[in-house]
Structure 1
Amino acid sequence: MSDPTEQEIRERAHRLWEQAGKPEGREEEFWNAAEQELRNEEKSNTLRTPDTL
């Protein structure tokens, strides 16, 4: 399991910021939310293992 890259976090944070209407002064909030979302997605993906027959 690897941590999300700075670029991945930046892109997700920007998308979240745009979806929220581009509020000023909340950069850290969006950065933290983006980082958490990416970590949760990765954790979820590693828990899913394909069934093997």
Structure 2
Amino acid sequence: MAGLTEQDIRSRAYLLWEMAGQPAGQMDTFWYKAEKELIAERKEQGDVPSYLPNLAAG
């Protein structure tokens, strides 16, 4: 199982931020969205332990 790292989240958050036009002051928004997306993707692949919160549901 590949663990979800801070670097994974940072890279996705940066990509999301760029795609949104690089808005200022929304770091947390993109960080949490990136984390949510990555967890959902890895759960679909069976790559995240079931004890992690279901952040993709919200």
TM norm. shorter chain > 0.5: yes
Task: Point out 4+ residue stretches in structure 1 off by more than 3 angstroms.
Answer: none
TM-score of the pair, normalised by structure 1:
0.81
Q: CA RMSD in A?
A: 1.6
CA shift at 1:18, angstroms?
Answer: 0.1
Q: Which has the greater radius of gyration?
A: 1
Higher relative contact order (CA 8 A, sep 6+): 1
Seq. identity, %: 49
Q: Which runs of 5+ in 2 are unaligned?
A: 48-58
TM-score of the pair, normalised by structure 2:
0.74
Question: 1:9·1:35 contact (CA, 8 Å) conserved in 2?
Answer: yes
Question: What SS does the aligned partner of 1:25 have?
Answer: coil
Residue number in structure 1 paired with 2:21: 21
Q: Which runs of 5+ in 1 are unaligned?
A: 48-53
Report the number of matched residues.
47
